[in-house]
Amino acid sequence: MACGGFVCSKTSLCILNLIYVMVSLLMVGVAAWGKWFGLVSSFRVMAAVIAVGLFLFVVAIMGLCGAVKHHQVFLFFYMLILFMVFVVQFSVSCACLAINKEQQNLLLEIGWNKSESMQEDLERSLDCCDFREVDYNKSCVATCFKDQTCDPCSEIIQAYADDALQFVGGVSLFFSFTEILGVWLAHRYRNQKDHRQNPGAFI
């Protein structure tokens, strides 16, 4: 049977959603593992990653159910949600790839000021203190603080920011195209007939 047929569309949609299920479980598992071993102390970061993973898991299960049962309602809402996710993710990926140095510094400082636990994580892992200027009259968890040889964290973070944004933007852009592929497969699959069950009926 040609790849444009009913069985091929169903199989392709199932495989795509199985990949989404594995990615979602991986996201939840990595977030829980990082929190359990103390690699991430920020509850907001962990909760955000788990929430995204669970959302992706629900969407993938909806797509799987729609593909297996050829369920018109599930497939419609799957297409709708996946298209909205595509729009958001494509916009975010383009923003990550297009952001300049000044915008990076502004966003990094906003993120730095929002969470004290994240500040401690970065100070401990990067061995730096404060964001722009080191104040030795305050406390800091970095090892270098005892010797008063610390650099501001903004300098170190900025060195990784470009590569990180390029990586995140590229990965996000890649997955956004898999989402539009899922929308196209679901749309085509909804309008195909299963000739093995009832050649004259639209299911």
* Tens of pLDDT, residues 48-76: 778 888 999 999 999 999 999 888 999 99
The answer as to whether 96 is a domain residue is: yes
Domain containing residue 162: 86-173
Q: Which residue has the tokens 């049962």?
A: 69
Token pair belonging to 160? 């990784």
pLDDT band at 180, cuts 50/70/90? very high
The answer as to whether 112 is a domain residue is: yes
The DSSP result for 39-50, as a single string, is S---HHHHHHHH
The answer as to whether 44 is a domain residue is: no
- What average pLDDT does the segment 10-17 reach? 91
* Least reliable range by pLDDT among 13-17, 143-147, 161-165: 161-165
The answer as to whether 36 is a domain residue is: no
The answer as to whether 150 is a domain residue is: yes
Identity of residue 9: S
Give me the number of domains the chain comprises. 1
Question: pTM (2 decimals)?
Answer: 0.70
